[in-house]
Structure 1
């Protein structure tokens, strides 16, 4: 049964959360409970607004008068990695009684916006429209498709995005669109230190007028707390290893939907086949059989907090290029305190079997790091801080 169908067995976010707590899937947390109640309140407000718009003879009897006068304010939910923001927003999205709704990663949404703007400008050049400003028609189309917009990981790093957000969302809010977003930063810190940030500040003011800002200051990263009970280095390969890796992945996902991602690094694309929030899952071949380098691994660790690698084989001299990449990959993850969950054919010290060569010497360090990355001290250090902060600093200085 899909996540969406499971959710619809519950009438509210709070009841679904309570059921997950009763099953041991989450540890009850006061901040998460408060957010669940706030999301249920928003569902009620949207339901009333939807009912007030109905043209049936009885519809107006059940609608509160205020629902006609006041626009519905959305929610901007921020907090540190792994606090349950995405999980709770996904519950809201599945349960909100609105047909015209859209849930997207913010970067995917902005890519769609840029494509629509480009298409409109091309149509204007061809004389197919007299409207030279693309924002109003793009906003019309987006609002027609979705009354409720849910964004995961709202962040602004691109100057092109920053420059159009105020006009675009001003137009969307004028058309009644309701925004629900998760982010790792509070609104005032969006696009912090960005180029020409003063031009972006009106968007922050606009955003705060149309959403209630909620800090999900949960006591801990519940996913990583549960992941600590799972093995993080699984060997040997086989059905049991796959089962354990899948179980650990389910813990990290926390019920969130999977999606594929693509990172653009120095003009080329790096495919990320499976992601959920700040976790990414790869096969060994995805990372080490393709011509990837240090900048690619840096981009991955900058974007993702927890890395899963399935199916690391025993490597020998004919596979020394894959061994070199694996050494570089582990060095990068280790240096940036990323959390690693891995399945391998054998224990770390036996993964490279060539008797000589530079790789054999360097692999001793890799084996040592793989052992250390399983230790309680390392896992606690990875949990305590956001590894992407140090990764971003390293990328910036590279």
Structure 2
């Protein structure tokens, strides 16, 4: 019988959330040396150098912060901060994972959403205590979607930095522009500026490597062929799009990774543009987890680059939706190439 994602109801104990904060499997073996800068984009080579320098700084700060004085007390020293800003697919996550691999343990790596989910699951003080021993906290896809997140992350990073934890982050928006178009940013400018003060910003320019010289989005598969492919692919799942969206609404986003754990390929029937923003944002999270796990995606119905309406793409979450499209297309092309 064909397995379905809607039949899965994963549970993730809170105490596992910190332990699983590591780079996605596709970044297990990356390093500064394996990043190949585009010769036509000098900012990329410069960013590699800055990231390497930061990694060395992390180690020095961590060593100094854990050194005790004559009275047995640790030295108070602030952590460093690095912010890699650039478009989609320029290798920012590669550099962030390289920083993580170079840093001394303990250390943590997660997306902005995973970090806020962690704080929600553990409670603020418990999360600070668990992360305070880190040499570095690496935050991928740094985003501020609402005032609550602004206040939460500002306070969290300020406290961690004061305890000697260095912070490295990637995003598509410079620190001073976080939150623009999503809420009344001027009301929270003090918090946003506090966040920006933590980081030294480094620009990484270039085209999205996932789509260089590639054809447009693959044509959707017919429902009959979709079911046939799913049946012939061990470990795959086949779901109706609307049923899957309804199921996602019953799960906390922190469980989306567990939802697709062990799945070899995802097949989705009846894809269509979504009109509800809450639904669209859940698709973004699912796309991120599928991409992290390198799970191929094949659909029937609408093309994956049509899943978000133009109105949504013109709104405050534009960069989230474009990132999700970029990643879903990469996964759909991967399936098409192996079919």
Q: TM tier, shorter chain?
A: 0.5 to 0.7
Looking at structure 2, the residues matched to 91 and 209 of structure 1 have their Cα atoms a distance apart, in angstroms, of 23
1:122-167 per-position Cα deviation (integer Å, ceiling 9, x unaligned): xxxxxxxxxxxxx5554233213x2310011111113322232332
Structure-2 change in CA distance of 1:288 and 1:77 (3 Å): same
| Partner residue in 2 for 1:36 | 48
User: How much does 1:297 deviate?
Assistant: 7.2
Secondary structure at the counterpart of residue 82 of structure 1: coil
Query: Which residue of 2 is the match for residue 83 of structure 1?
Result: 90
1:158 is aligned, of 133, 138, 146, to 146
1:225 pairs with 2:175: no
| Alpha-carbon distance, 1:179 to partner | 0.8
CA RMSD between the two structures: 4.7
- How has the CA–CA distance of structure 1 residues 3 and 265 changed in structure 2, closer, same or farther, with 3 Å as cutoff? closer
Aligned length: 260
Cα distance in 1 between the residues matched to 2:61 and 2:126: 24
- For the pair 1:16 / 2:34, whether they are aligned, the reply is yes
- CA–CA separation in structure 1 for the residues paired with 2:248 and 2:220: 34
Please list the CA deviations of residues 271-317 of structure 1 after superposition, one character each: whole Å capped at 9, or x if unmatched: 57669xxxxx9622xx3289x976487446666599986466xxxxx
- Indicate conservation of the 8 Å contact 1:298/1:391, yes or no: no
Among 283, 293, 314, the alignment partner of 2:266 is 283
Unaligned runs of 5+ in 1: 8-12, 57-67, 118-134, 243-261, 276-280, 313-325, 339-384, 393-398
Contact 1:265–1:299 (CA<8 Å) still a contact in 2? no
How far residue 199 of structure 1 moved from its aligned partner, in angstroms, is 4.5
Larger Rg: 1
Structure with bigger RCO (C-alpha 8 Å, 6+ apart): 2
- For normalisation by structure 1, the TM-score amounts to 0.52
- Pairs within 5 Å for 1:106-145: 106-117=112-123, 135-136=124-125, 138-144=127-133
Match for residue 102 of structure 1 among 92, 98, 108: 108
Unpaired segments of 5 or more residues in structure 2?
1-24, 69-74, 234-243, 311-317, 326-339
Alignment of 1:47-62 (within 5 A): 47-53=59-65
Q: 1:183 to 1:55 in 2, by over 3 A?
A: closer
